[in-house]
Chain A
Amino acid sequence: MDFLAQHQLYIVMIIVLAIWLGLYLYLFRLDRRLKKLEERSQK
């Protein structure tokens, strides 16, 4: 914690990483949901 308090840029990095990974997972789930819909509409 002391390290982060002294190097504040790493806090920014962690926040941006969290946002990016969240968006990334969201896109993954959206992709999978679309795939299911496509399979359903083909039947």
Chain B
Amino acid sequence: MAIKILLGVLLTGVVIAGFGFPMSAAPQTWYELPVIPGLEDKARIIFFHVPTAWLSVVAFITSMLYAIQYLRKREAIDDIKSSAAAGLGFMFCILATLTGAVWAKFNWGSYWNWDPRETSIFVLLLIYGAYFSLRSAVEVEEKRATLASVYSIIAAVTSPFFIFIMPRIMTGLHPGAKGDPEGAGPVIEFKMSPNMRVIFFTSLIAFTLLFYWMFTLRVRAARLEAHHHSGG
């Protein structure tokens, strides 16, 4: 219960601060955000776009951990948890792609530019898309759980390469790409001021809590479903 209320307070605060705090060329007070040339009000998107991408990482790692647990203990609940986490991760991955595409249109001129990070999230969507086709292709429950668990582990092991390594060693449009000295993007210099950082990290925490809540809801629903099917 405390987590849910904390989530409500944090994310409401992030929305109010993220949209409501005025931007100023020379911030004087603690709540004024600096204007980033080239981004202006669009800089506010970062408070919502990055957390969706972050959540997909959290979710895919969660999926991998429960997959390992399943292979060790062979309990159906771990497979339910693993697939619930992968499902949420996939959803947030799509949200990161969509919010990024809209942002890219207005900062980079096109919805899709095949920037290294765009390419890597596309590959990630394919990898996890295949996870769900694998699941739906196998009828036998135990076999499905075992195959899906192995696949989830392999997928999560390859994903850091696409999320953390490839976009950093190649030149691209996102901040943090190669040839980018200190967080300053090759296209637009993006440095967060301390108050932006507070909103940003609060948002990451709030989104993580949201993920946790949605994850438990999904697991509970799936557990009830399994209970119902077994006639218990």
A residues whose Cβ falls under 8 Å from a Cβ of B:
9-10, 12-13, 16-17, 20-21, 24, 27-28, 30-31, 34, 37-38, 41
Q: List 27 A-B contacts (CB under 8 A).
A: A9-B19, A9-B20, A9-B41, A10-B19, A12-B19, A13-B16, A13-B20, A16-B15, A16-B19, A17-B15, A17-B16, A20-B11, A20-B15, A21-B12, A24-B7, A24-B8, A24-B11, A27-B214, A27-B217, A28-B4, A30-B217, A31-B4, A34-B221, A38-B220, A41-B227, A41-B228, A41-B232
Contacts of A31 in B (CB 8 A): 4, 213, 217
* Cβ-defined contact, A41 with B224, below 8 A: yes
Interface residues of A: mostly helix, strand, loop or mixed?
helix
* Cβ-defined contact, B224 with A34, below 8 A: yes
Q: Which of B13-54 contact A (CB under 8 A)?
A: 15-16, 19-20, 41
Number of interface residues of B (CB under 8 A): 19
* Cβ-defined contact, A34 with B220, below 8 A: yes
Contacts of A9 in B (CB 8 A): 19-20, 41
* Cβ-defined contact, A17 with B12, below 8 A: yes
Contacts of A17 in B (CB 8 A): 12, 15-16
The docked-state distance in angstroms from the alpha carbon of A37 to that of B55 is 29
